[in-house]
Chains A and B, each alone.
Chain A
Amino acid sequence: SYVLTQPPSVSVAPGKTARITCGGNKIGSKSVHWYQQKPGQAPLLVIFYDADRPSGIPARFSGSKSGYTATLTISRVEAGDEADYYCQVWDSISDVVFGGGTKLTVL
Protein backbone atom coordinates (compact mmCIF):
# COMPACT_ATOMS: atom_id res chain seq x y z
CA SER A 1 0.00 0.00 0.00
CA TYR A 2 1.07 3.56 -0.62
CA VAL A 3 2.67 5.38 2.29
CA LEU A 4 3.11 9.09 2.99
CA THR A 5 5.78 9.98 5.54
CA GLN A 6 5.64 13.14 7.65
CA PRO A 7 7.84 14.21 10.55
CA PRO A 8 5.92 13.80 13.83
CA SER A 9 6.71 17.31 14.96
CA VAL A 10 8.05 20.64 13.81
CA SER A 11 8.79 23.62 16.04
CA VAL A 12 9.16 27.22 14.98
CA ALA A 13 9.37 30.63 16.61
CA PRO A 14 6.68 33.21 15.91
CA GLY A 15 7.39 35.24 12.80
CA LYS A 16 9.64 32.58 11.32
CA THR A 17 8.96 30.11 8.53
CA ALA A 18 7.75 26.57 9.14
CA ARG A 19 8.26 23.83 6.59
CA ILE A 20 6.41 20.53 6.89
CA THR A 21 7.43 17.75 4.54
CA CYS A 22 5.51 14.82 3.11
CA GLY A 23 7.41 12.06 1.39
CA GLY A 24 6.12 9.34 -0.86
CA ASN A 25 7.16 7.16 -3.79
CA LYS A 26 6.55 8.93 -7.10
CA ILE A 27 4.72 11.72 -5.25
CA GLY A 28 5.69 13.95 -8.17
CA SER A 29 3.01 12.26 -10.24
CA LYS A 30 0.28 12.76 -7.63
CA SER A 31 -1.72 15.75 -6.49
CA VAL A 32 -0.99 16.58 -2.85
CA HIS A 33 -3.52 18.18 -0.53
CA TRP A 34 -2.86 19.57 2.94
CA TYR A 35 -5.18 19.87 5.95
CA GLN A 36 -4.85 21.80 9.18
CA GLN A 37 -6.48 20.41 12.31
CA LYS A 38 -6.57 22.47 15.46
CA PRO A 39 -7.36 20.78 18.80
CA GLY A 40 -11.00 19.80 19.08
CA GLN A 41 -11.80 20.87 15.53
CA ALA A 42 -12.41 19.15 12.22
CA PRO A 43 -9.67 19.25 9.60
CA LEU A 44 -9.56 22.23 7.25
CA LEU A 45 -8.24 22.10 3.70
CA VAL A 46 -5.42 24.66 3.40
CA ILE A 47 -3.67 23.61 0.16
CA PHE A 48 -4.94 21.56 -2.77
CA TYR A 49 -3.34 20.43 -6.03
CA ASP A 50 0.11 20.83 -4.50
CA ALA A 51 0.06 24.62 -4.27
CA ASP A 52 -3.44 26.10 -4.62
CA ARG A 53 -5.13 27.81 -1.69
CA PRO A 54 -8.87 27.64 -1.02
CA SER A 55 -10.57 30.98 -0.57
CA GLY A 56 -10.08 32.32 2.93
CA ILE A 57 -6.71 30.66 3.51
CA PRO A 58 -3.98 33.27 4.09
CA ALA A 59 -1.25 33.65 1.51
CA ARG A 60 1.22 32.77 4.26
CA PHE A 61 0.33 29.16 3.50
CA SER A 62 1.97 27.75 0.40
CA GLY A 63 2.74 24.36 -1.06
CA SER A 64 5.44 22.97 -3.28
CA LYS A 65 6.75 19.68 -4.53
CA SER A 66 10.16 18.47 -5.61
CA GLY A 67 11.36 14.97 -6.27
CA TYR A 68 9.86 12.57 -3.73
CA THR A 69 8.78 15.29 -1.30
CA ALA A 70 5.93 17.75 -1.00
CA THR A 71 6.29 20.67 1.38
CA LEU A 72 3.81 22.86 3.19
CA THR A 73 5.38 26.21 4.01
CA ILE A 74 3.90 28.60 6.54
CA SER A 75 5.51 32.03 6.47
CA ARG A 76 5.46 34.51 9.34
CA VAL A 77 4.11 31.86 11.68
CA GLU A 78 1.55 32.96 14.25
CA ALA A 79 0.46 31.34 17.49
CA GLY A 80 -2.85 30.50 15.83
CA ASP A 81 -1.07 28.28 13.30
CA GLU A 82 -0.29 25.75 16.00
CA ALA A 83 -2.06 22.59 14.85
CA ASP A 84 -1.65 19.16 13.34
CA TYR A 85 -1.06 19.14 9.60
CA TYR A 86 -1.81 16.22 7.29
CA CYS A 87 -0.88 15.63 3.68
CA GLN A 88 -3.12 13.50 1.47
CA VAL A 89 -2.99 11.98 -2.00
CA TRP A 90 -5.02 9.64 -4.12
CA ASP A 91 -3.30 6.45 -5.25
CA SER A 92 -4.65 4.12 -7.93
CA ILE A 93 -4.06 1.07 -5.69
CA SER A 94 -4.59 2.37 -2.15
CA ASP A 95 -7.21 5.01 -2.99
CA VAL A 96 -7.13 7.86 -0.44
CA VAL A 97 -3.95 8.03 1.64
CA PHE A 98 -3.19 10.41 4.51
CA GLY A 99 0.21 11.06 5.98
CA GLY A 100 0.67 10.36 9.65
CA GLY A 101 0.42 14.03 10.56
CA THR A 102 2.84 16.64 11.86
CA LYS A 103 2.31 18.58 15.05
CA LEU A 104 3.39 22.18 14.56
CA THR A 105 4.46 23.85 17.78
CA VAL A 106 4.89 27.61 17.89
CA LEU A 107 7.56 28.34 20.49
Chain B
Amino acid sequence: EVQLVESGGGLVKTGGSLRLSCVASGFSFSNAWMTWVRQPPGKGLEWVGRIKSKIDGGTTDYAAPVKGRFTISRDDSRNMMFLQMNSLKTEDTALYYCTTELNRRFDHWGQGSLVTVSS
Protein backbone atom coordinates (compact mmCIF):
# COMPACT_ATOMS: atom_id res chain seq x y z
CA GLU B 1 0.00 0.00 0.00
CA VAL B 2 1.34 3.41 -0.98
CA GLN B 3 1.73 5.78 1.96
CA LEU B 4 2.85 9.39 1.94
CA VAL B 5 3.23 11.22 5.23
CA GLU B 6 4.01 14.92 5.42
CA SER B 7 5.43 16.72 8.42
CA GLY B 8 7.08 19.98 9.38
CA GLY B 9 4.21 22.40 9.04
CA GLY B 10 3.45 25.10 11.56
CA LEU B 11 3.08 28.79 12.23
CA VAL B 12 5.74 31.13 10.91
CA LYS B 13 6.08 34.89 10.50
CA THR B 14 6.23 36.56 7.11
CA GLY B 15 9.75 36.46 5.75
CA GLY B 16 10.53 33.33 7.71
CA SER B 17 11.45 29.82 6.60
CA LEU B 18 10.05 26.35 7.05
CA ARG B 19 11.02 22.90 5.80
CA LEU B 20 8.43 20.26 5.02
CA SER B 21 9.22 16.58 4.77
CA CYS B 22 7.41 13.74 3.06
CA VAL B 23 8.25 10.12 3.83
CA ALA B 24 7.08 7.54 1.32
CA SER B 25 6.51 3.80 1.45
CA GLY B 26 4.88 1.05 -0.57
CA PHE B 27 6.44 1.83 -3.94
CA SER B 28 9.78 2.34 -5.65
CA PHE B 29 10.49 5.85 -4.42
CA SER B 30 13.75 6.30 -6.30
CA ASN B 31 11.96 5.77 -9.63
CA ALA B 32 9.12 8.16 -8.85
CA TRP B 33 8.55 11.76 -9.74
CA MET B 34 7.35 13.55 -6.64
CA THR B 35 5.31 16.71 -6.41
CA TRP B 36 4.01 19.23 -3.90
CA VAL B 37 0.48 20.58 -4.30
CA ARG B 38 -1.00 23.12 -1.90
CA GLN B 39 -4.48 24.20 -0.96
CA PRO B 40 -5.16 27.50 0.80
CA PRO B 41 -7.93 27.28 3.40
CA GLY B 42 -11.31 27.05 1.67
CA LYS B 43 -9.78 27.34 -1.78
CA GLY B 44 -8.71 25.12 -4.66
CA LEU B 45 -5.64 23.10 -5.51
CA GLU B 46 -2.42 24.75 -6.66
CA TRP B 47 0.63 23.00 -8.03
CA VAL B 48 3.83 24.03 -6.22
CA GLY B 49 6.56 22.04 -7.91
CA ARG B 50 8.13 18.68 -8.62
CA ILE B 51 11.36 16.76 -8.50
CA LYS B 52 12.00 14.12 -11.10
CA SER B 53 13.63 10.79 -10.41
CA LYS B 54 17.39 10.68 -10.66
CA ILE B 55 17.14 8.41 -13.66
CA ASP B 56 15.17 11.19 -15.35
CA GLY B 57 17.73 13.78 -14.33
CA GLY B 58 16.57 14.62 -10.82
CA THR B 59 15.66 18.12 -11.95
CA THR B 60 13.09 20.38 -10.37
CA ASP B 61 10.29 22.57 -11.71
CA TYR B 62 8.37 25.25 -9.81
CA ALA B 63 5.22 27.27 -10.13
CA ALA B 64 5.79 30.95 -10.78
CA PRO B 65 4.55 32.17 -7.35
CA VAL B 66 7.18 30.13 -5.50
CA LYS B 67 10.09 30.09 -7.93
CA GLY B 68 13.24 31.44 -6.31
CA ARG B 69 11.82 31.05 -2.78
CA PHE B 70 11.03 27.34 -2.55
CA THR B 71 13.41 24.43 -3.14
CA ILE B 72 12.45 20.79 -3.54
CA SER B 73 14.96 18.04 -2.82
CA ARG B 74 14.93 14.31 -2.25
CA ASP B 75 16.85 11.65 -0.35
CA ASP B 76 16.25 8.33 -2.06
CA SER B 77 18.18 6.45 0.64
CA ARG B 78 15.49 7.47 3.14
CA ASN B 79 12.53 7.55 0.75
CA MET B 80 12.00 11.21 1.53
CA MET B 81 11.21 14.45 -0.26
CA PHE B 82 11.62 17.92 1.16
CA LEU B 83 10.23 21.38 0.53
CA GLN B 84 12.38 24.21 1.79
CA MET B 85 10.30 27.37 1.93
CA ASN B 86 12.04 30.71 2.37
CA SER B 87 10.83 34.31 2.36
CA LEU B 88 7.36 33.13 3.24
CA LYS B 89 4.37 35.32 2.49
CA THR B 90 0.87 35.28 3.94
CA GLU B 91 -0.39 33.95 0.61
CA ASP B 92 1.72 30.82 1.15
CA THR B 93 -0.66 29.80 3.94
CA ALA B 94 -2.05 26.44 2.83
CA LEU B 95 -2.27 22.72 3.39
CA TYR B 96 0.70 21.24 1.54
CA TYR B 97 0.25 17.82 -0.02
CA CYS B 98 2.98 15.44 -1.10
CA THR B 99 2.00 13.43 -4.17
CA THR B 100 3.39 10.94 -6.63
CA GLU B 101 3.38 12.11 -10.21
CA LEU B 102 2.99 9.65 -13.07
CA ASN B 103 2.57 10.86 -16.64
CA ARG B 104 1.56 14.33 -15.44
CA ARG B 105 -1.16 13.11 -13.08
CA PHE B 106 -1.20 12.57 -9.33
CA ASP B 107 -2.04 9.04 -8.30
CA HIS B 108 -1.30 9.10 -4.58
CA TRP B 109 -1.59 11.87 -2.02
CA GLY B 110 -0.57 12.33 1.58
CA GLN B 111 -2.89 13.85 4.16
CA GLY B 112 -1.11 17.19 4.05
CA SER B 113 0.86 19.46 6.36
CA LEU B 114 -0.55 22.85 7.32
CA VAL B 115 1.60 25.93 6.92
CA THR B 116 0.34 29.19 8.38
CA VAL B 117 2.19 32.41 7.65
CA SER B 118 1.22 35.40 9.72
CA SER B 119 2.37 38.96 9.80
Name A's B-contacting residues (CB within 8 A): 1, 31, 33, 35, 37, 42-45, 48-49, 54, 84, 86, 88-90, 95-101
Q: A54-B107, A88-B105 are in contact. Are A42 and B44 (CB under 8 A)?
A: no
Q: In the complex, what residue of chain A is closest to B107 when comparing beta carbons? A: A45
Which one of A1, A45, A86 lies within 8 Å of B44 (CB-CB)? Answer: A86
Work out how many contacts link A and B, with CB atoms closer than 8 A.
52
Interface centre among A1, A43, A54, A100, by most B CB within 10 Å?
A: A43
Residue of A nearest to B109 (CB): A42
B46 x A98 contact (CB < 8 A): yes
Flag if A42 contacts B104 (CB, 8 Å). no
State how many residues of chain B have any CB contact under 8 Å with chain A: 20
Q: Which residues of B contact A101 (CB under 8 A)?
A: 44-45
B106 touches A95 (CB 8 A): no
Q: List 13 A-B contacts (CB under 8 A).
A: A1-B64, A31-B103, A33-B105, A33-B106, A48-B105, A84-B44, A86-B44, A88-B105, A89-B104, A95-B47, A98-B44, A98-B46, A101-B44
CA distance A90 to B105 in the complex (A): 8
Among the listed B103, B104, B106, which residue makes an inter-chain contact with A43, where contact means beta carbons less than 8 Å apart? B106
B: residues with CB less than 8 A from A are: 35, 37, 44-47, 50, 61, 63-64, 97, 103-107, 109-112
The reply to whether B44 and A90 form a contact with Cβ atoms under 8 Å apart is no
Q: How far is the CA of A53 from the CA of B35 in the complex (A)?
A: 21
Interface centre among B37, B46, B106, by most A CB within 10 Å?
Answer: B106
Q: How far is the CA of A48 from the CA of B106 in the complex (A)?
A: 9
Q: Take A42-B110, A44-B109 as given contacts and tell me if A96 and B47 are in contact as well, using a CB distance cutoff of 8 Å.
A: yes
B110 partner residues in chain A, CB cutoff 8 A: 42
A31 neighbours in B (Cβ, 8 Å): 103-105
Q: In whole angstroms, what is the CA distance A97 to B111 when docked?
A: 21
Given A33-B106, A89-B104, output 13 extra A-B contacts at Cβ < 8 Å.
A1-B64, A33-B104, A35-B106, A42-B110, A43-B37, A43-B109, A45-B107, A90-B104, A95-B47, A98-B44, A98-B45, A99-B44, A100-B44
